[in-house]
């Protein structure tokens, strides 16, 4: 029996109203591409929320309605020109804010609300109002840079959360763990030379953004060693991810001893996702959550905040999200994953030789892990 936690779910229906317009997956429609839904639409997030609502987990959660961030909070990382540009584009009715990143008229206000949700979650965890929190928001944030909307992301939700925790609450040592299938370039860029923020990204090798997230990119100047990239080969499943966690992520966190952990929670490394080529099941997300909670209990007073990022399988994201929420709260939802037995039968779920080689390669670039080779 796991210890129960007081877990907050930060959610607003307005998150679902962020308009990513008519695309075909990732491509603007034209005479050769039939119009369809942009892959980052509301359905996966709404279905996750609805699955929680019909489960036994619903009543055990703290339900937090977020308030919007103010402009000063955004300016801790983003330039005024970037904020102004996004606001002006939305006021004119929307358009393309960045690479594959369309917005609608209300998207600026909704993005401010998404940032505000992360800040509210951090405030509540630090104050002890609840033990941990999951921010089920959109637009996502882990690809946004200081001057650029990128990869569906307008503002760097998680980066802004880290800076809020440091500058408002005086929490110095913060770890960012990004398990989205795409590289966590936003946090890496923001904190690349900062020894007080450990950035960890488990991602599919060279998927998005291309040429980011390489093994040898370990930080710069005073931050050398505080950036851990784990670019797993396509087709990695439970065996590879769990080995990477046990041999790389957890030892790195133990050495760092964070005062808070922020997770960029994308579910696109799950099997059946249209934008990734990995094979995780909901049990793998439950496992990663529990292992991070163990670290948080030892070093961070249990303080974990998760902010929702990618994940594009309408059928499967809800079960991965539910597994994470069960682990965070120590509760049983009463619902079973109807897809898991099928996914666990996929060939290649056990770790392979080339996946082991990648893990050893990562160790070789980090002095605090090299002795574990």
Banded pLDDT at 28 (limits 50, 70, 90): confident
DSSP H/E element including 255: helix 250-256
Per the CB < 8 A criterion, the answer to whether 343 and 271 are in contact is yes
Q: What is the pLDDT of residue 1?
A: 57
Q: Which percentage of the chain shows pLDDT scores above 70?
A: 98
Per the CB < 8 A criterion, the answer to whether 266 and 335 are in contact is no
Per the CB < 8 A criterion, the answer to whether 31 and 25 are in contact is no
Q: Average per-residue pLDDT in the chain?
A: 96
Residue 210 has pLDDT above 80, yes or no: yes
What are the phi and psi torsion angles at 37 (to 5°)?
Answer: -85, 140
Catalytic site residues? 143
Distance CA 79, CA 319 (A): 37
Banded pLDDT at 18 (limits 50, 70, 90): very high
Average pLDDT over residues 162-186: 98
Q: What is the pLDDT of residue 373?
A: 40
Q: Is 265 left (phi over 0), alpha (psi -120 to 50) or beta?
A: beta
Q: Global pTM? A: 0.97
Sketch out the chain's domains with CATH numbers. Answer: 7-370 (3.40.800.20)
Q: What is the pLDDT of residue 163?
A: 98
Average pLDDT over residues 102-124: 98
Q: What is the pLDDT of residue 127?
A: 98
State how beta strands 36-37 and 22-23 pair.
antiparallel
Rg, C-alpha atoms of the chain: 19
Q: What is the pLDDT of residue 371?
A: 61
């Amino acid at each position: 029996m796991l210890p129960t936690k007081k877990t907050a779910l930060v959610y607003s229906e307005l998150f679902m109203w962020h308009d990513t317009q008519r695309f075909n997956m990732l491509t603007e429609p034209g005479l050769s591409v039939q119009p369809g839904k942009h892959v980052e639409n509301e359905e996966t997030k709404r279905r996750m929320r609805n699955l929680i609502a019909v489960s036994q987990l619903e009543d055990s959660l703290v339900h937090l309605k977020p308030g919007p961030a103010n402009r000063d909070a955004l300016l801790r990382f983003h330039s005024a020109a970037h904020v102004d540009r996004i606001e002006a584009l939305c006021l004119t009715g929307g358009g393309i804010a960045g690479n594959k990143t369309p917005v609608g008229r209300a998207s600026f206000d909704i993005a401010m609300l998404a940032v505000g949700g992360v800040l509210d979650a951090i405030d509540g965890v630090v104050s002890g109002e609840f033990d941990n929190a999951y921010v089920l928001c959109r637009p996502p944030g882990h690809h946004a840079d200081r001057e650029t909307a990128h990869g569906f992301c307008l503002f760097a939700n998680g980066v802004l959360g880290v800076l809020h925790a440091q500058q408002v609450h005086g929490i110095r040592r913060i770890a960012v763990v990004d398990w989205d299938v795409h590289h966590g370039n936003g946090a890496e860029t923001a904190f690349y030379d900062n020894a007080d923020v450990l950035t960890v990204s488990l991602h599919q090798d060279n998927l998005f953004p291309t040429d980011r997230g390489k093994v040898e990119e370990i930080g710069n100047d005073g931050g050398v060693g505080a950036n851990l990239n784990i670019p797993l080969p396509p087709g990695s499943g439970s065996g590879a991810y769990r080995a990477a966690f046990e041999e790389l992520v957890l030892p790195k966190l133990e050495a760092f001893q964070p005062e808070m952990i922020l997770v960029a929670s994308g579910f696109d490394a799950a099997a059946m996702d249209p934008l990734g080529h990995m094979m995780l099941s909901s049990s793998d997300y439950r496992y990663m959550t529990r292992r991070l909670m163990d670290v948080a209990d030892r070093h961070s007073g249990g303080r974990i905040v998760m902010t929702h990022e990618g994940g594009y399988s309408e059928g499967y994201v809800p079960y991965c999200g539910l597994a994470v929420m069960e682990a965070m709260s120590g509760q049983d939802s009463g619902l079973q994953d109807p897809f898991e037995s099928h996914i666990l039968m996929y060939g290649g779920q056990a770790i392979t030789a080339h996946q082991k080689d990648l893990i050893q390669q990562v160790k070789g670039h980090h002095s605090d892990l090299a002795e574990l080779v």
